[in-house]
Amino acid sequence: MDRFEIRGGARLSGRLTIKGSKNAALPLMAAALLTDEPVTLRDVPELADIANMRRLLDNLGVALQHSPASDPDAAGGVLRLHADPKANSHAHYDIVRTMRASVCALGPMLARRGEARVSLPGGCAIGERPVDLHLRGLRALGAEIEVDGGDIIAKVAIGSDGARRLTGARIFLGGPMGSTVLGTANVMSAATLARGTTIIECAACEPEIVDLAKLLTAMGAKISGAGSPRITIEGVAALGSADHRVLADRIEAGTYMCAAAITRGDLILENCPVDALMAHMDCLATMGVTMQYDLSGDPLRASCRVVADRRLSPVEVTTQPHPGFPTDLQAQLMAVLCLAEGRSVVTERIFGERFMHVAELTRMGAQLYRTGATVNVQGTERLQGTQVMASDLRASACLVLAGLAAEGTTIVNRVYHLDRGYERMEERLRLLGADIERISEQVPEVVNG
Protein backbone atom coordinates (compact mmCIF):
# COMPACT_ATOMS: atom_id res chain seq x y z
CA MET A 1 0.00 0.00 0.00
CA ASP A 2 2.85 2.36 -0.84
CA ARG A 3 1.96 5.91 -1.79
CA PHE A 4 3.83 8.84 -3.28
CA GLU A 5 3.93 12.27 -1.68
CA ILE A 6 4.72 14.92 -4.27
CA ARG A 7 5.32 18.61 -3.59
CA GLY A 8 4.74 20.16 -7.00
CA GLY A 9 6.28 23.08 -8.84
CA ALA A 10 9.85 21.94 -9.51
CA ARG A 11 11.09 22.29 -13.09
CA LEU A 12 12.65 18.97 -14.09
CA SER A 13 16.11 18.94 -15.67
CA GLY A 14 18.86 16.42 -16.29
CA ARG A 15 19.61 13.16 -18.06
CA LEU A 16 17.84 9.81 -17.86
CA THR A 17 18.36 6.44 -19.56
CA ILE A 18 15.20 4.78 -20.86
CA LYS A 19 14.79 1.19 -19.65
CA GLY A 20 14.09 -1.90 -21.69
CA SER A 21 10.43 -2.21 -22.67
CA LYS A 22 7.98 -4.10 -20.43
CA ASN A 23 5.62 -4.77 -23.32
CA ALA A 24 8.45 -6.08 -25.49
CA ALA A 25 10.08 -8.14 -22.74
CA LEU A 26 6.94 -10.10 -21.75
CA PRO A 27 6.33 -11.87 -25.11
CA LEU A 28 10.12 -12.18 -25.60
CA MET A 29 10.35 -14.10 -22.31
CA ALA A 30 7.43 -16.34 -23.31
CA ALA A 31 9.20 -17.11 -26.61
CA ALA A 32 11.78 -19.11 -24.63
CA LEU A 33 9.07 -21.79 -24.37
CA LEU A 34 9.48 -22.42 -28.11
CA THR A 35 12.97 -23.94 -27.82
CA ASP A 36 14.90 -26.48 -25.73
CA GLU A 37 17.96 -24.22 -26.01
CA PRO A 38 18.87 -21.28 -23.74
CA VAL A 39 17.69 -17.76 -24.62
CA THR A 40 19.45 -14.68 -23.22
CA LEU A 41 17.68 -11.33 -22.95
CA ARG A 42 19.52 -8.07 -22.14
CA ASP A 43 18.14 -4.70 -20.93
CA VAL A 44 15.37 -6.49 -19.03
CA PRO A 45 13.73 -3.92 -16.70
CA GLU A 46 13.18 -4.54 -12.96
CA LEU A 47 9.39 -4.40 -12.81
CA ALA A 48 6.61 -6.22 -10.97
CA ASP A 49 5.19 -7.54 -14.25
CA ILE A 50 8.58 -8.96 -15.27
CA ALA A 51 8.86 -10.66 -11.88
CA ASN A 52 5.37 -12.12 -12.40
CA MET A 53 6.36 -13.46 -15.81
CA ARG A 54 9.48 -15.02 -14.28
CA ARG A 55 7.23 -16.68 -11.70
CA LEU A 56 4.90 -17.95 -14.41
CA LEU A 57 7.72 -19.35 -16.56
CA ASP A 58 9.38 -20.97 -13.58
CA ASN A 59 6.05 -22.70 -12.95
CA LEU A 60 6.03 -23.85 -16.60
CA GLY A 61 9.47 -25.47 -16.34
CA VAL A 62 11.75 -22.66 -17.51
CA ALA A 63 15.06 -22.43 -15.64
CA LEU A 64 15.84 -18.75 -15.10
CA GLN A 65 19.06 -16.93 -14.25
CA HIS A 66 18.44 -13.29 -13.43
CA SER A 67 21.32 -10.79 -13.17
CA PRO A 68 19.98 -7.34 -12.27
CA ALA A 69 21.97 -4.38 -13.62
CA SER A 70 24.66 -3.16 -11.19
CA ASP A 71 24.38 0.40 -12.51
CA PRO A 72 20.96 1.90 -11.58
CA ASP A 73 21.13 4.05 -14.69
CA ALA A 74 21.58 1.06 -17.03
CA ALA A 75 18.72 0.10 -19.38
CA GLY A 76 18.19 -3.18 -17.53
CA GLY A 77 19.60 -6.52 -16.41
CA VAL A 78 20.26 -9.88 -18.05
CA LEU A 79 17.89 -12.83 -18.00
CA ARG A 80 18.84 -16.32 -19.17
CA LEU A 81 15.92 -18.65 -19.84
CA HIS A 82 16.08 -22.39 -20.55
CA ALA A 83 12.83 -24.28 -21.03
CA ASP A 84 12.16 -27.96 -20.37
CA PRO A 85 9.57 -29.02 -22.98
CA LYS A 86 8.35 -31.89 -20.79
CA ALA A 87 7.44 -29.70 -17.82
CA ASN A 88 4.02 -28.59 -16.49
CA SER A 89 1.91 -26.82 -19.15
CA HIS A 90 -0.77 -25.37 -16.85
CA ALA A 91 -0.59 -21.59 -16.17
CA HIS A 92 -2.65 -21.26 -13.01
CA TYR A 93 -5.17 -18.54 -12.16
CA ASP A 94 -3.22 -17.33 -9.14
CA ILE A 95 -0.41 -16.13 -11.44
CA VAL A 96 -2.48 -15.19 -14.51
CA ARG A 97 -4.83 -12.99 -12.47
CA THR A 98 -1.84 -10.81 -11.48
CA MET A 99 -0.92 -10.15 -15.08
CA ARG A 100 -3.04 -10.49 -18.26
CA ALA A 101 0.08 -10.81 -20.41
CA SER A 102 0.46 -14.35 -19.03
CA VAL A 103 -1.76 -15.30 -21.97
CA CYS A 104 1.23 -14.90 -24.30
CA ALA A 105 2.61 -18.19 -22.98
CA LEU A 106 -0.30 -20.00 -24.67
CA GLY A 107 0.89 -19.93 -28.30
CA PRO A 108 4.55 -20.86 -27.64
CA MET A 109 3.59 -23.72 -25.26
CA LEU A 110 1.02 -25.10 -27.67
CA ALA A 111 3.46 -24.99 -30.58
CA ARG A 112 6.37 -26.64 -28.74
CA ARG A 113 4.55 -29.06 -26.45
CA GLY A 114 1.32 -29.76 -28.37
CA GLU A 115 -0.79 -28.79 -25.37
CA ALA A 116 -1.36 -25.90 -22.99
CA ARG A 117 -3.76 -24.90 -20.23
CA VAL A 118 -3.89 -21.21 -19.36
CA SER A 119 -6.32 -19.50 -17.05
CA LEU A 120 -8.51 -16.97 -18.81
CA PRO A 121 -7.45 -13.48 -17.72
CA GLY A 122 -10.13 -11.79 -15.59
CA GLY A 123 -11.48 -8.25 -15.70
CA CYS A 124 -9.35 -5.13 -16.19
CA ALA A 125 -9.69 -1.52 -14.98
CA ILE A 126 -9.13 -0.14 -18.47
CA GLY A 127 -12.09 -1.96 -20.03
CA GLU A 128 -13.09 -5.15 -21.77
CA ARG A 129 -10.12 -7.26 -22.84
CA PRO A 130 -11.32 -10.50 -24.44
CA VAL A 131 -8.85 -13.02 -25.97
CA ASP A 132 -11.21 -14.33 -28.69
CA LEU A 133 -8.80 -13.24 -31.45
CA HIS A 134 -5.95 -15.20 -29.84
CA LEU A 135 -8.13 -18.32 -29.83
CA ARG A 136 -9.38 -17.66 -33.36
CA GLY A 137 -5.77 -17.50 -34.61
CA LEU A 138 -4.61 -20.62 -32.77
CA ARG A 139 -7.67 -22.58 -33.89
CA ALA A 140 -6.90 -21.57 -37.48
CA LEU A 141 -3.47 -23.18 -36.96
CA GLY A 142 -5.26 -26.42 -36.11
CA ALA A 143 -5.42 -26.29 -32.32
CA GLU A 144 -8.41 -27.82 -30.56
CA ILE A 145 -9.44 -25.31 -27.93
CA GLU A 146 -12.13 -25.33 -25.29
CA VAL A 147 -12.75 -23.08 -22.33
CA ASP A 148 -13.59 -24.98 -19.17
CA GLY A 149 -13.62 -23.98 -15.52
CA GLY A 150 -12.15 -20.59 -16.39
CA ASP A 151 -9.24 -22.18 -18.24
CA ILE A 152 -8.29 -22.21 -21.91
CA ILE A 153 -7.50 -25.86 -22.68
CA ALA A 154 -5.68 -26.26 -25.96
CA LYS A 155 -4.14 -29.23 -27.69
CA VAL A 156 -2.85 -30.34 -31.07
CA ALA A 157 -3.78 -33.72 -32.51
CA ILE A 158 -1.00 -36.17 -33.44
CA GLY A 159 -0.26 -35.87 -37.16
CA SER A 160 0.49 -38.63 -39.69
CA ASP A 161 4.19 -38.10 -38.91
CA GLY A 162 3.51 -38.88 -35.25
CA ALA A 163 4.23 -35.29 -34.23
CA ARG A 164 1.80 -32.89 -32.54
CA ARG A 165 2.46 -29.91 -34.79
CA LEU A 166 0.29 -26.95 -35.73
CA THR A 167 -0.39 -26.37 -39.42
CA GLY A 168 0.19 -23.09 -41.29
CA ALA A 169 -2.89 -21.11 -42.38
CA ARG A 170 -4.11 -17.76 -43.74
CA ILE A 171 -5.54 -15.87 -40.75
CA PHE A 172 -7.41 -12.58 -40.56
CA LEU A 173 -6.68 -11.38 -37.02
CA GLY A 174 -8.57 -8.09 -37.03
CA GLY A 175 -11.21 -7.35 -34.36
CA PRO A 176 -13.71 -4.56 -33.61
CA MET A 177 -10.88 -2.26 -32.48
CA GLY A 178 -8.52 -3.37 -35.25
CA SER A 179 -5.41 -5.41 -34.57
CA THR A 180 -4.40 -7.11 -31.33
CA VAL A 181 -0.82 -6.83 -30.04
CA LEU A 182 -0.54 -9.88 -27.77
CA GLY A 183 -2.84 -11.82 -30.13
CA THR A 184 -0.35 -11.21 -32.95
CA ALA A 185 2.53 -12.16 -30.63
CA ASN A 186 0.79 -15.44 -29.67
CA VAL A 187 -0.13 -16.48 -33.21
CA MET A 188 3.15 -15.38 -34.81
CA SER A 189 5.15 -17.26 -32.15
CA ALA A 190 3.04 -20.41 -32.57
CA ALA A 191 3.28 -20.33 -36.36
CA THR A 192 7.11 -20.48 -36.23
CA LEU A 193 6.94 -24.24 -35.46
CA ALA A 194 3.90 -25.08 -37.64
CA ARG A 195 3.99 -27.23 -40.76
CA GLY A 196 3.91 -24.95 -43.79
CA THR A 197 3.31 -21.23 -44.19
CA THR A 198 1.12 -18.88 -42.17
CA ILE A 199 -0.09 -15.45 -43.26
CA ILE A 200 -1.43 -13.15 -40.55
CA GLU A 201 -3.56 -10.34 -42.04
CA CYS A 202 -4.42 -7.30 -39.95
CA ALA A 203 -1.45 -8.08 -37.72
CA ALA A 204 -0.43 -5.54 -35.08
CA CYS A 205 2.38 -3.26 -36.32
CA GLU A 206 3.63 -2.30 -32.85
CA PRO A 207 7.43 -2.02 -32.37
CA GLU A 208 7.15 -4.76 -29.73
CA ILE A 209 5.98 -7.16 -32.46
CA VAL A 210 8.99 -6.22 -34.61
CA ASP A 211 11.25 -6.86 -31.62
CA LEU A 212 9.68 -10.27 -31.04
CA ALA A 213 10.11 -11.17 -34.72
CA LYS A 214 13.78 -10.16 -34.41
CA LEU A 215 14.32 -12.58 -31.51
CA LEU A 216 12.38 -15.40 -33.21
CA THR A 217 14.42 -14.91 -36.39
CA ALA A 218 17.64 -15.05 -34.35
CA MET A 219 16.31 -18.36 -32.93
CA GLY A 220 15.95 -19.67 -36.51
CA ALA A 221 12.40 -18.71 -37.42
CA LYS A 222 11.46 -17.56 -40.94
CA ILE A 223 9.37 -14.41 -40.63
CA SER A 224 8.78 -11.53 -43.04
CA GLY A 225 6.59 -8.44 -42.87
CA ALA A 226 6.77 -7.81 -39.10
CA GLY A 227 5.85 -4.17 -38.50
CA SER A 228 3.33 -4.26 -41.36
CA PRO A 229 -0.31 -5.47 -41.29
CA ARG A 230 0.66 -8.68 -43.14
CA ILE A 231 3.17 -11.07 -41.55
CA THR A 232 4.29 -14.27 -43.27
CA ILE A 233 5.81 -17.13 -41.25
CA GLU A 234 7.31 -20.24 -42.78
CA GLY A 235 7.25 -22.93 -40.14
CA VAL A 236 10.46 -24.76 -39.14
CA ALA A 237 10.96 -28.05 -37.28
CA ALA A 238 12.82 -26.55 -34.32
CA LEU A 239 14.19 -23.29 -32.93
CA GLY A 240 17.56 -22.71 -31.26
CA SER A 241 19.19 -20.37 -28.81
CA ALA A 242 19.64 -16.62 -29.16
CA ASP A 243 20.96 -13.56 -27.36
CA HIS A 244 18.75 -10.48 -27.72
CA ARG A 245 18.72 -6.90 -26.44
CA VAL A 246 15.19 -5.79 -25.50
CA LEU A 247 13.79 -2.77 -27.32
CA ALA A 248 13.80 0.48 -25.30
CA ASP A 249 10.46 1.34 -23.67
CA ARG A 250 8.59 3.85 -25.86
CA ILE A 251 5.83 4.30 -23.28
CA GLU A 252 8.30 5.05 -20.48
CA ALA A 253 10.09 7.49 -22.82
CA GLY A 254 6.78 9.12 -23.78
CA THR A 255 5.87 9.45 -20.11
CA TYR A 256 9.13 11.26 -19.27
CA MET A 257 8.61 13.52 -22.29
CA CYS A 258 5.25 14.46 -20.70
CA ALA A 259 7.08 15.06 -17.38
CA ALA A 260 9.33 17.58 -19.13
CA ALA A 261 6.30 19.16 -20.84
CA ILE A 262 4.12 19.54 -17.71
CA THR A 263 6.96 20.96 -15.54
CA ARG A 264 8.33 23.23 -18.31
CA GLY A 265 11.47 21.15 -17.95
CA ASP A 266 14.61 20.34 -19.91
CA LEU A 267 15.44 16.62 -20.09
CA ILE A 268 17.87 14.52 -22.10
CA LEU A 269 16.56 11.00 -22.62
CA GLU A 270 19.21 8.42 -23.53
CA ASN A 271 18.38 5.08 -25.20
CA CYS A 272 15.24 6.83 -26.47
CA PRO A 273 13.23 5.00 -29.21
CA VAL A 274 12.30 8.17 -31.14
CA ASP A 275 11.49 6.09 -34.22
CA ALA A 276 8.75 4.31 -32.27
CA LEU A 277 7.26 7.52 -30.88
CA MET A 278 6.55 9.69 -33.88
CA ALA A 279 2.81 10.16 -33.23
CA HIS A 280 3.40 11.21 -29.63
CA MET A 281 6.33 13.48 -30.51
CA ASP A 282 4.32 15.07 -33.32
CA CYS A 283 1.58 15.80 -30.82
CA LEU A 284 3.99 17.36 -28.29
CA ALA A 285 5.64 19.43 -31.02
CA THR A 286 2.22 20.78 -32.06
CA MET A 287 1.66 21.79 -28.43
CA GLY A 288 4.96 23.71 -28.37
CA VAL A 289 7.43 21.25 -26.88
CA THR A 290 10.88 21.32 -28.48
CA MET A 291 12.58 18.00 -29.16
CA GLN A 292 16.09 17.61 -30.57
CA TYR A 293 17.54 14.24 -31.32
CA ASP A 294 20.47 12.82 -33.19
CA LEU A 295 19.60 10.14 -35.72
CA SER A 296 23.16 9.32 -36.73
CA GLY A 297 22.99 6.15 -34.65
CA ASP A 298 20.13 3.70 -33.98
CA PRO A 299 16.84 5.66 -34.10
CA LEU A 300 15.46 3.21 -31.53
CA ARG A 301 18.27 4.10 -29.11
CA ALA A 302 18.78 7.82 -29.66
CA SER A 303 19.66 10.72 -27.37
CA CYS A 304 16.68 13.07 -27.28
CA ARG A 305 16.50 16.49 -25.61
CA VAL A 306 12.99 17.57 -24.59
CA VAL A 307 12.39 21.22 -23.61
CA ALA A 308 9.19 23.05 -22.67
CA ASP A 309 9.60 26.72 -21.82
CA ARG A 310 6.09 28.14 -22.08
CA ARG A 311 2.39 27.38 -21.55
CA LEU A 312 1.47 24.77 -24.12
CA SER A 313 -1.15 24.90 -26.89
CA PRO A 314 -4.23 22.64 -27.13
CA VAL A 315 -4.53 19.64 -29.45
CA GLU A 316 -7.08 17.09 -30.66
CA VAL A 317 -5.83 13.49 -30.33
CA THR A 318 -7.34 10.06 -30.98
CA THR A 319 -5.73 6.85 -29.85
CA GLN A 320 -5.12 4.22 -32.55
CA PRO A 321 -3.09 1.07 -33.14
CA HIS A 322 0.57 1.78 -34.02
CA PRO A 323 1.76 3.92 -35.79
CA GLY A 324 -1.17 6.03 -34.53
CA PHE A 325 -1.18 7.73 -31.11
CA PRO A 326 -0.68 5.03 -28.42
CA THR A 327 -3.47 4.41 -25.94
CA ASP A 328 -0.78 3.80 -23.28
CA LEU A 329 0.14 7.52 -23.42
CA GLN A 330 -3.41 8.89 -23.48
CA ALA A 331 -3.68 9.47 -19.71
CA GLN A 332 -0.22 11.03 -19.41
CA LEU A 333 -0.94 13.42 -22.27
CA MET A 334 -4.28 14.36 -20.69
CA ALA A 335 -2.46 15.49 -17.54
CA VAL A 336 -0.32 17.82 -19.68
CA LEU A 337 -3.36 19.14 -21.55
CA CYS A 338 -5.08 20.04 -18.27
CA LEU A 339 -2.57 22.93 -17.94
CA ALA A 340 -2.41 23.87 -21.63
CA GLU A 341 -4.21 26.88 -23.10
CA GLY A 342 -7.70 26.53 -24.62
CA ARG A 343 -9.73 23.40 -25.25
CA SER A 344 -8.22 20.03 -26.21
CA VAL A 345 -10.11 16.91 -27.28
CA VAL A 346 -8.97 13.39 -26.36
CA THR A 347 -10.70 10.36 -27.95
CA GLU A 348 -9.95 6.81 -26.82
CA ARG A 349 -10.52 4.29 -29.67
CA ILE A 350 -8.76 1.21 -28.24
CA PHE A 351 -10.15 0.86 -24.67
CA GLY A 352 -13.33 2.94 -24.59
CA GLU A 353 -13.49 2.94 -20.79
CA ARG A 354 -9.85 3.95 -20.23
CA PHE A 355 -10.70 7.08 -18.26
CA MET A 356 -10.26 6.14 -14.59
CA HIS A 357 -7.84 9.11 -14.27
CA VAL A 358 -10.53 11.65 -15.28
CA ALA A 359 -12.29 11.75 -11.91
CA GLU A 360 -8.96 11.91 -10.06
CA LEU A 361 -7.67 14.80 -12.20
CA THR A 362 -11.00 16.55 -11.60
CA ARG A 363 -10.28 16.26 -7.86
CA MET A 364 -7.11 18.26 -8.57
CA GLY A 365 -9.13 21.02 -10.23
CA ALA A 366 -8.93 19.90 -13.87
CA GLN A 367 -11.78 20.95 -16.19
CA LEU A 368 -12.73 17.69 -17.96
CA TYR A 369 -15.99 16.92 -19.78
CA ARG A 370 -16.51 13.33 -20.90
CA THR A 371 -19.03 12.10 -23.46
CA GLY A 372 -18.58 8.42 -24.22
CA ALA A 373 -15.09 7.80 -25.59
CA THR A 374 -14.22 11.51 -25.83
CA VAL A 375 -13.02 13.93 -23.14
CA ASN A 376 -13.00 17.68 -23.70
CA VAL A 377 -10.15 19.21 -21.72
CA GLN A 378 -10.58 22.86 -20.86
CA GLY A 379 -7.08 24.07 -20.02
CA THR A 380 -6.71 25.69 -16.59
CA GLU A 381 -3.97 27.87 -15.05
CA ARG A 382 -3.29 25.61 -12.11
CA LEU A 383 -3.88 22.22 -10.54
CA GLN A 384 -4.13 21.77 -6.81
CA GLY A 385 -2.43 19.02 -4.85
CA THR A 386 -4.75 16.59 -2.97
CA GLN A 387 -5.22 12.86 -2.30
CA VAL A 388 -5.80 10.78 -5.43
CA MET A 389 -6.16 7.07 -6.13
CA ALA A 390 -4.23 5.11 -8.77
CA SER A 391 -6.39 2.55 -10.60
CA ASP A 392 -4.16 1.18 -13.35
CA LEU A 393 -0.62 1.49 -14.63
CA ARG A 394 -0.88 4.46 -17.01
CA ALA A 395 -3.55 6.30 -14.99
CA SER A 396 -1.13 6.27 -12.04
CA ALA A 397 1.63 7.75 -14.21
CA CYS A 398 -0.81 10.49 -15.23
CA LEU A 399 -1.51 11.34 -11.56
CA VAL A 400 2.21 11.51 -10.75
CA LEU A 401 2.71 13.96 -13.65
CA ALA A 402 -0.21 16.10 -12.45
CA GLY A 403 1.27 16.07 -8.95
CA LEU A 404 4.64 17.29 -10.28
CA ALA A 405 2.93 20.41 -11.65
CA ALA A 406 0.26 20.97 -9.01
CA GLU A 407 0.41 23.57 -6.26
CA GLY A 408 0.90 22.04 -2.84
CA THR A 409 1.16 18.36 -1.97
CA THR A 410 -0.36 15.50 -3.96
CA ILE A 411 -0.67 12.05 -2.43
CA VAL A 412 -0.94 9.26 -5.00
CA ASN A 413 -2.27 6.12 -3.32
CA ARG A 414 -1.78 2.51 -4.47
CA VAL A 415 1.40 3.07 -6.46
CA TYR A 416 1.80 -0.69 -6.78
CA HIS A 417 0.04 -0.11 -10.09
CA LEU A 418 2.95 2.09 -11.13
CA ASP A 419 5.61 -0.42 -10.07
CA ARG A 420 4.22 -2.81 -12.64
CA GLY A 421 5.58 -0.71 -15.49
CA TYR A 422 7.97 1.99 -14.19
CA GLU A 423 11.25 1.15 -12.47
CA ARG A 424 11.90 3.18 -9.28
CA MET A 425 9.99 6.17 -10.70
CA GLU A 426 10.23 8.33 -7.58
CA GLU A 427 14.03 7.91 -7.31
CA ARG A 428 14.55 8.77 -10.96
CA LEU A 429 12.27 11.82 -10.77
CA ARG A 430 14.08 12.98 -7.64
CA LEU A 431 17.38 12.83 -9.56
CA LEU A 432 15.76 15.17 -12.09
CA GLY A 433 14.80 17.67 -9.38
CA ALA A 434 11.32 16.56 -8.33
CA ASP A 435 10.26 16.76 -4.69
CA ILE A 436 8.77 13.30 -4.36
CA GLU A 437 8.99 10.45 -1.88
CA ARG A 438 7.58 6.97 -1.47
CA ILE A 439 5.79 6.30 1.79
CA SER A 440 5.64 2.60 2.56
CA GLU A 441 2.83 1.56 4.82
CA GLN A 442 2.67 -1.86 6.39
CA VAL A 443 -0.82 -3.19 6.10
CA PRO A 444 -1.69 -4.59 9.54
CA GLU A 445 -2.29 -8.34 9.27
CA VAL A 446 -5.92 -9.16 10.11
CA VAL A 447 -5.93 -12.18 12.48
CA ASN A 448 -9.39 -13.74 12.75
CA GLY A 449 -10.58 -14.14 16.30
x-or-dash pattern for ligand EPZ, window 182-221, by CB under 6 A? xx--------------------x-----------------
Q: Is 124 part of the annotated catalytic residue set? A: yes
**Long-range contacts (CB closer than 8 Å, 24 or more residues apart) made by 362-370:** 363/387, 363/388, 364/338, 364/388, 364/402, 364/403, 364/406, 364/410, 366/338, 366/402, 367/338, 368/334, 368/338
Q: How far is CA 252 from CA 62, 247, 276, 299, 364, in A?
A: 28, 12, 12, 16, 24
Whether the CB-CB separation of 262 and 227 falls below 8 Å is answered with no
Determine, following the binding rule CB under 6 A, whether residue 101 of this chain makes contact with ligand EPZ.
yes
C-alpha angle with apex 189: 236 to 320, nearest 5 degrees?
A: 140
Nearest distance from residue 160's CB to ligand EPZ, in Å?
31
Site stretch for ligand EPZ (CB under 6 A), options 56-64, 131-139, 263-271, 398-406:
131-139
State which of positions 145-174 bind ligand EPZ (CB under 6 A): none
> Would you say 142 or 183 has its CB closer to ligand EPZ?
183
Nearest distance from residue 246's CB to ligand EPZ, in Å?
13
Q: How far is 339 from 337, CA to CA, in rounded Å?
A: 5
Q: How far is CA 166 from CA 190, 305, 343, 449, in A?
A: 8, 47, 52, 55
Whether the CB-CB separation of 398 and 334 falls below 8 Å is answered with yes
Nearest distance from residue 159's CB to ligand EPZ, in Å?
27
Annotated active-site residue in 104, 124, 202, 338: 124
Of these, 47, 181, 213, 246, which contacts ligand EPZ (CB under 6 A)?
A: 181
Residues contacting residue 223 through CB under 8 Å, at least 6 positions apart: 188, 192, 213, 216, 217, 231, 232, 233, 234
Number of residues that bind ligand EPZ (CB under 6 A): 25
Of these, 301, 357, 394, 428, which contacts ligand EPZ (CB under 6 A)?
A: 394
Residue 9: closest CA among 264, 288, 339: 264
Q: How far is 265 from 263, CA to CA, in rounded Å?
A: 5
> Would you say 208 or 308 has its CB closer to ligand EPZ?
208
Determine, following the binding rule CB under 6 A, whether residue 26 of this chain makes contact with ligand EPZ.
yes
Of these, 42, 129, 195, 264, which contacts ligand EPZ (CB under 6 A)?
A: 129
Residue 121: closest CA among 1, 221, 26, 216: 26
State which of positions 251-280 bind ligand EPZ (CB under 6 A): none
Determine, following the binding rule CB under 6 A, whether residue 175 of this chain makes contact with ligand EPZ.
yes
Nearest distance from residue 86's CB to ligand EPZ, in Å?
28
State which of positions 330-359 bind ligand EPZ (CB under 6 A): 350-351
Determine, following the binding rule CB under 6 A, whether residue 327 of this chain makes contact with ligand EPZ.
yes
> Would you say 52 or 263 has its CB closer to ligand EPZ?
52
Q: How far is 435 from 119, CA to CA, in rounded Å?
A: 42
Catalytic site positions: 124
- What is the contact surface with ligand EPZ in residues (CB under 6 A)? 23, 26, 101, 128-134, 175-177, 180-183, 204, 327-328, 350-351, 393-394, 421
